[in-house]
Structure 1
Amino acid sequence: MVDVQLSEIEKSYGNCRVLATLNLHVAAGQYVVLLGPSGCGKTTLLKIIAGLEQPDHGQLCLGGNRAEHLPPRKRDVSIVFQHDALYPHLSIRDSIAFGLKSLSASERRSRIDQACQLTGIASLLDRRPDHLSGGELRRAAIAKAIARRASVRLLDEPLSAIDSHVRHGIANALIDWHTSHPGTTIHVTHNGQEAMHIADLIAVMGTSTSGGNQIVQLARPEEIYRTPANKSVALSIGSPPMSFLGAKIKQGQLTFTDDCFRVVGHWPIPSDRDQDIEIGMRSNAIGQVSPKADVTKNGLLISGTVTRTYFSNDHWIASVKAADQVVLADFTDRPPTVGDHITLYADCQKCHLFDTTGQSLAVKRPR
């Protein structure tokens, strides 16, 4: 197994700066997911690692050795493209075997059999790509990469544009592959739930202050969820998305312009500097309380009107409008009726403060 080290990577297409001083280290044997919106440079980064694109500046090391000038065939890297890239005129068996020509016939058969076992495509081997569904094509493309047994495996949106139940099965196949055939895997997606399901570490990509994209946070899934570095990271993870309320820090106190928001107890403030901020809160951090309840625990009371409810998995979500702001709240039992005026409580320990640039404010959590 080898590690992947990207240092100060820059890449532009004409006047469009795609990657800006990007740094990322993926340890040998890790499964890292690159998470970010479409167009943020995730695929470009994979192509640089694979040797299909050259960086304008920066270094790529594979296993400690400089690799940015090596041709793709000398990098021991396999890549599964978003659009599968199977040979249209060959059967799936022949497509998989094409990259194994240097092996003996018996070794080729063994690798194809193992790849089929992991991906469940044994019954598809004699078909051509135009006779397969989207999910079957994706499994076949992954099987091709499995059979190669490269030290570094790159997966470009391997679970996109396929049915949810098929996506779940393929995700489990990817985890089984990584576990049973250890290597270093870098997986690209724009889907936060997918990243949470699969990754050892999530590398969230976002726009730098100088333009272009870079890694804005690299951490375990639970850390990305619980302590996002900025607002874009917070929005990349979790369903439904985090809600945000505008507020102010004034003379060391948290204040609101409307009386439908009321701070309860002590809310720790990161500085005495007066500034506008946003409070981020996930739906499971917000619960309904009686308007007359004597709430003393540090947090925020929100009075608003229910504008919509919907069922998601095993609970209800209610959209509640307070003044001109909207929050989403979880209800395990039946939710309130649209039009009801209700009071919500958000525990400050489960809320996040962001400045006007979207950066997280360092807050000492109360005990």
Structure 2
Amino acid sequence: MNERTSAPSRAQIRRWRRYLADERAEASVYRDLASRRDGEEKQILLALAEAEARHEKHWLDLLGDQVGSPRKGALRTRALGWMARRFGSVFVLALAQRAEARSPYESDADATAMMAADERIHGEVVRGLAARGRAQLSGSFRAAVFGANDGLVSNLALVMGIGATGVSTPVILATGVAGLLAGALSMAAGEYVSVKSQRELLRATQPDLSARDVVPMLDVNANELALIYRARGMTTKEAAIKAAQVLASAGTPATGEVVVIDDHEAVGSATGAALSSFCFFASGAVLPILPYIFGLQGFAAVVAAAIIVGLALLATGAIVGLLSGGPPLRRALRQLAIGFGAAAITYALGLAFGASL
């Protein structure tokens, strides 16, 4: 604890009280997350809660008899706690990771260097926990995000480009529906083939466990068992030692003991990726044509479609930012700029072609 030679200022007391409330709220978030998990993850989260309690004690010691009445933590921390109690998902862990990364302790003279280091390490611990959930989501989630954004951007661009030529509303609507179906089917087929091929490629790298049956019959003095381990990344010396160990206990699985590449979980299933891609592309592609479905025409329909799609692009960008641990606002604005940029180009082309019709 820092030694003080003078009474703290009112600003310091307010700041310490705020830190105290935040530490209590963060510890509560970790306990709430732990209540929805078991095994190792539960123990890790409870250990993080204990660490926050140490930081809490630091501010209690500084405040002494000026602790005051209990205060609520920051709004974002309380919102995090609410989600942790009800969901406990990778989204909450991703938000907790960002919260740890925003710790003010490194620049605050009243916090110790150890506390600042703790917060940095806490962020990495939460990142590791979130990585497990991200790995499970990555295959279908990737297809879902790409599908939704492709549907939003491609159909908005299509509708705006066709609309700018001056054709009638029924033609624009029919074009939008055709773009929805064609794009969704194309995305689903592409995702299925892509993920299926990737899984087959990964499967081809796995050891053939039936090869263990021939180990007892190998020539001890001249055998190729060591080549297996060398092909899998071991040095010549390491491979020779490993082969000797396996031969010394003939019948022990040979190829099953090498490092196995197992990225199937991260890749996801081909069917899941295809369904996610189809559904999310369709859900994104339907938004630009909603104004035309409900009877809007001309420039009013174009503005309405742009607003609806813009809000959806902001939402998907923010979600990607949260899950990736990046700044949600920056990701949201990036998605918006890309989507509106594509739509503006096709709208300008539509105006150019429309003028010559």
TM-score range, shorter chain: under 0.3
Higher relative contact order (CA 8 A, sep 6+): 2
State which structure, 1 or 2, has the greater radius of gyration over its C-alpha atoms: 2
- Please give the TM-score of this superposition, normalised by the length of structure 2: 0.23
Larger helix proportion of the pair: 2
- Please give the TM-score of this superposition, normalised by the length of structure 1: 0.23
Larger strand proportion of the pair: 1
